[in-house]
Amino acid sequence: MRYLPLTQPDREAMLAVIGAADIDALFIDVPQSARLTAPIAALPLHAPEQTVERALGAMAAKNMTAGTVPFFVGGGAYKHHVPASVDHIIQRGEFLTAYTPYQPEIAQGTLQVLFEFQTQVARLLGMDVANASMYDGSTAMTEAVFMARRVTRRAKALVSAGVHPHYVNVLKTLTQFTDDVVEVGEPALQSGKPGDDIDALMAGIDAETSCVVVQNPNVFGHVADLAPLAQACHAAGALLVVVVTEVVSLGAMMSPGEMGADIVVGEGQSIGNGLNFGGPYLGLFATRDKYVRQMPGRLCGETVDADGKRGFVLTLSTREQHIRREKATSNICTNSGLCALAFSVHMTLLGEKGLRHLASLNHAHAVQLAERLGRIPGVELVTTTFFNEFTLKLPVEARPVVRKLADRGVLGGISLGRLYPGVAALDRGMLVAVTETATDADFDAFEDALDEVLA
Amino acid sequence: MMNSQGRVTRIAGTGSVAETFTGNKALMLEEPLLFERGAVDRCGVDLDDVPVVQDRLGGLARTAPINLPGLSEPETVRHYTRLSRQNYAIDLGIFPLGSCTMKHNPRLNEKMARLPGFADIHPLQPQPTVQGALQLIDTLATWLKLLTGMPEVAMSPKAGAHGELCGMLAIRAALEARGDARSVVLVPESAHGTNPATAAFCGYAVENIPANARGRVDVEALLARLGPDVAAVMITNPNTCGLFEPDMVAICDAVHAAGGFVYCDGANFNAIVGRVRPGDLGIDAMHINLHKTFSTPHGGGGPGSGPVVFSAALAQFAPLPFVRKTKDGFELVEEAQAKASSDHDHSFGRMVAFHGQMGMFVRALAYMMSHGADGLRQVAEDAVLNANYILASLKDVYTAPFAATGPCMHEALFSDDFLEGTGLTTLDLAKAMIDEGFHPMTMYFPLVVHGAMLVEPTETESRASLDQLIGAMRSIAERMLADPDAWRTSPHLAPRRRLDETAAARKPVLRYTPGRDAA
Tell me the per-residue pLDDT of A118-163, one tens digit each, with 9 for 90 and over.
999 999 999 999 999 999 999 999 999 999 999 999 999 999 999 9
Kindly tell me the sign of the dihedral angle through the C-alpha atoms of A271, A276, A280, A286: positive
φ/ψ of residue B17, rounded to 5: -105, 110
Measured CA to CA, the distance from residue B158 to residue B155 in angstroms comes to 9
- The verdict on residue B151 lying in a domain is yes
Residues of B in contact with A354 (CB under 8 A): 43-45, 47, 70
φ/ψ of residue B10, rounded to 5: -150, 135
Task: State the pLDDT at residue B14.
Answer: 45
Whether residue B256 is found in the same domain as residue B384: no
In B395-519, where does DSSP find H-type helix?
A: 426-435, 463-482, 501-506
**Could you give the C-alpha distances from A316 to A299, A335, B502, in angstroms and in order?**
7, 15, 9
Nearest to B352 by CA among A34, A173, A258: A173
CATH number of the domain residue B227 falls in = 3.40.640.10
Measured CA to CA, the distance from residue A282 to residue B152 in angstroms comes to 28
- What is the DSSP pairing of strand B261-265 with strand B285-287? parallel
φ/ψ of residue B23, rounded to 5: 85, -5
The pLDDT of A389-393, averaged and rounded, is: 98
Q: Residue A446: what residue type? A: F
Task: List the 147-186 stretch of A: residues with Cβ below 8 A of B.
Answer: 164, 166-167, 169-170, 172-174, 176-178
Q: What is residue B503's three-state secondary structure?
A: helix
Whether residue B313 is found in the same domain as residue B457: no
Task: List the 117-136 stretch of A: residues with Cβ below 8 A of B.
Answer: 118-120, 122-124, 128-130, 132, 135-136
- The verdict on residue B98 lying in a domain is no
Report CB contact under 8 Å: B88, A87.
no
Whether residue B402 is found in the same domain as residue B357: no
Number of C-beta neighbours around residue B44 at 10 A? 22
Whether residue B464 is found in the same domain as residue B351: no
Nearest to A320 by CA among B196, B286, B397: B196
- The verdict on residue B49 lying in a domain is no
Q: Tell me if B251 sits within 8 A of B222, measured CB to CB.
A: yes
The pLDDT of A297-303, averaged and rounded, is: 96
Which residue of B97, B172, B208, B496 is the best one to mutate when testing the A interface, meaning the one whose CB has the most A CBs within 10 A? B496
φ/ψ of residue B443, rounded to 5: -120, 150
Cβ neighbors of B240 (< 8 A, separation 6 or more) are B99, B190, B191, B192, B445, B446, B454
Report CB contact under 8 Å: B272, A31.
no
Structural domains of chain B, count: 2
φ/ψ of residue B325, rounded to 5: -80, 135
Q: Nearest chain A residue to B158 by CA: give it.
A: A135
Order of strands, sheet of B442-443, starting from the edge strand that comes earlier in the sequence: B412-414, B453-455, B442-443
The pLDDT of A230-259, averaged and rounded, is: 98
Task: State the pLDDT at residue A86.
Answer: 98
Task: List the 10-29 stretch of B: residues with Cβ below 8 A of A.
Answer: none
Q: Which residues pair with A45 in a beta bridge?
A: B372
Q: Residue A307: what residue type? A: D
Which among A3, A95, A350 has CB closest to B43?
Answer: A350
Please report, to the nearest 10 degrees, the dihedral formed by the alpha carbons of residues A363, A367, A369, A371 taken in order: 170
Q: Identify the domain containing residue B386 by its residue range.
A: 373-495
Last residue within a domain, chosen from B331, B365, B399: B365
Whether residue B262 is found in the same domain as residue B313: yes
Measured CA to CA, the distance from residue B75 to residue B81 in angstroms comes to 10
Number of C-beta neighbours around residue B67 at 10 A? 13
Does the beta carbon of B122 lie under 8 angstroms from any beta carbon of chain A?
A: yes
Q: How far is A210 from chain B (nearest CA, A)?
A: 18
Q: Nearest chain A residue to B367 by CA: give it.
A: A52
Residues of B in contact with A166 (CB under 8 A): 350, 352-354
Task: List the 248-287 stretch of B: residues with Cβ below 8 A of A.
Answer: 248-249, 272, 274-277, 280-281
- The verdict on residue B238 lying in a domain is yes
Length of chain B measured in residues: 519
Task: State the pLDDT at residue A387.
Answer: 98
Does the beta carbon of A27 lie under 8 angstroms from any beta carbon of chain B?
A: yes
Residue ranges of chain B whose pLDDT lies below 50: 1-2, 8-16, 518-519
The pLDDT of A329-355, averaged and rounded, is: 94
Residues of B in contact with A65 (CB under 8 A): 116-117, 120-121
Q: What is the pLDDT of residues B79-122, one digit of tens each?
A: 999 999 999 999 999 999 998 899 999 999 999 999 999 999 99
Nearest to A321 by CA among B476, B414, B164, B76: B164
- Which class for B425: exposed (0-12), middle (13-18), buried (19 or more C-beta within 10 A)? middle
Which among B106, B117, B503 has CB closest to A61?
Answer: B117
Task: State the pLDDT at residue A114.
Answer: 98
With cut-offs at 50, 70 and 90, classify the pLDDT of residue A325: confident
A84-346 sits in which CATH class? alpha beta
Measured CA to CA, the distance from residue B460 to residue B466 in angstroms comes to 10
Residues of B in contact with A355 (CB under 8 A): 66, 68
Which residue of B16, B36, B87 is the best one to mutate when testing the A interface, meaning the one whose CB has the most A CBs within 10 A? B87
Does the beta carbon of A227 lie under 8 angstroms from any beta carbon of chain B?
A: no
Whether residue B161 is found in the same domain as residue B232: yes
- The verdict on residue B48 lying in a domain is no
- What is the DSSP pairing of strand A209-215 with strand A156-159? parallel
User: Among A211-215, A279-283, B21-25, which stretch is predicted with the lowest mean pLDDT?
Assistant: B21-25
With cut-offs at 50, 70 and 90, classify the pLDDT of residue A331: confident
Measured CA to CA, the distance from residue B86 to residue B297 in angstroms comes to 18
Measured CA to CA, the distance from residue B436 to residue B434 in angstroms comes to 5
Task: State the pLDDT at residue B456.
Answer: 97
- The verdict on residue B220 lying in a domain is yes
Report CB contact under 8 Å: B354, A116.
no
Cβ neighbors of A11 (< 8 A, separation 6 or more) are A23, B382, B385
Report CB contact under 8 Å: B338, A39.
no
Task: List the 34-73 stretch of A: residues with Cβ below 8 A of B.
Answer: 34-36, 39-47, 49, 51-53, 55-68, 71, 73
The pLDDT of A230-240, averaged and rounded, is: 98
Task: State the pLDDT at residue B3.
Answer: 52
- Which class for A31: exposed (0-12), middle (13-18), buried (19 or more C-beta within 10 A)? middle
With cut-offs at 50, 70 and 90, classify the pLDDT of residue A433: very high
Q: Residue A2: what residue type? A: R
- The verdict on residue B46 lying in a domain is no
φ/ψ of residue A40, rounded to 5: -65, 120
φ/ψ of residue A244, rounded to 5: -125, 115
Does the beta carbon of A306 lie under 8 angstroms from any beta carbon of chain B?
A: yes
Whether residue B116 is found in the same domain as residue B213: yes
For B4-18, the DSSP string reads: TTS-B-S--EETTEE
Measured CA to CA, the distance from residue B370 to residue B388 in angstroms comes to 26
Nearest to A57 by CA among B135, B61, B34, B36: B135
Whether residue B319 is found in the same domain as residue B385: no
Task: State the pLDDT at residue B9.
Answer: 43
Residues of B in contact with A1 (CB under 8 A): 371, 374-375, 378
Q: What angle do CA A320, A326, A329 make, to 5 degrees?
A: 40
For residue A322, pLDDT over 90 is answered with no
Which among A49, A75, A109 has CB closest to B87?
Answer: A109
The pLDDT of A245-261, averaged and rounded, is: 98
In B106-226, where does DSSP find H-type helix?
A: 107-113, 116-119, 131-148, 160-177, 194-201, 219-225
Report CB contact under 8 Å: A418, B276.
no
Q: What is residue A117's three-state secondary structure?
A: helix
Whether residue B340 is found in the same domain as residue B429: no
- The verdict on residue B77 lying in a domain is no
Task: State the pLDDT at residue B266.
Answer: 87
**Could you give the C-alpha distances from A386 to A390, B65, B381, B492, in angstroms and in order?**
6, 21, 58, 56
Whether residue B351 is found in the same domain as residue B205: yes
Does the beta carbon of A325 lie under 8 angstroms from any beta carbon of chain B?
A: yes
Distance of CA B306 to the CA centre of its chain: 10
Measured CA to CA, the distance from residue A217 to residue A221 in angstroms comes to 5
What beta strand segments (E) does A104-224 contain? 129-130, 156-159, 181-184, 209-215
Overall fold of domain A353-454:
Aspartate Aminotransferase, domain 1 (3.90.1150)
Does the beta carbon of B45 lie under 8 angstroms from any beta carbon of chain A?
A: yes
The domain segmentation of chain A, as residue ranges, is: 84-346, 353-454
Q: What angle do CA B40, B42, B43 make, to 5 degrees?
A: 115
Cβ neighbors of B289 (< 8 A, separation 6 or more) are B101, B159, B160, B163, B266, B267, B269, B304, B305, B306
Task: State the pLDDT at residue B339.
Answer: 66
- What is the DSSP pairing of strand A263-267 with strand A283-287? antiparallel
Whether residue B435 is found in the same domain as residue B291: no
Whether residue B265 is found in the same domain as residue B409: no
Q: What is residue B430's three-state secondary structure?
A: helix
Does the beta carbon of B197 lie under 8 angstroms from any beta carbon of chain A?
A: yes
The pLDDT of A177-186, averaged and rounded, is: 94
Residues of B in contact with A349 (CB under 8 A): 43-45, 70-71, 73, 76
Q: Which residues pair with B235 in a beta bridge?
A: B264
Task: List the 251-270 stretch of A: residues with Cβ below 8 A of B.
Answer: 251-255, 258, 267
Which among A13, A29, A326 has CB closest to B206?
Answer: A326
Task: List the 315-374 stretch of B: residues with Cβ below 8 A of A.
Answer: 319-320, 334-338, 348-360, 362, 365-366, 369-374
Q: Residue B303: what residue type? A: P
Q: What is residue A364's three-state secondary structure?
A: helix
Residues of B in contact with A26 (CB under 8 A): 381, 384-385, 388, 407
Q: How far is A235 from chain B (nearest CA, A)?
A: 23
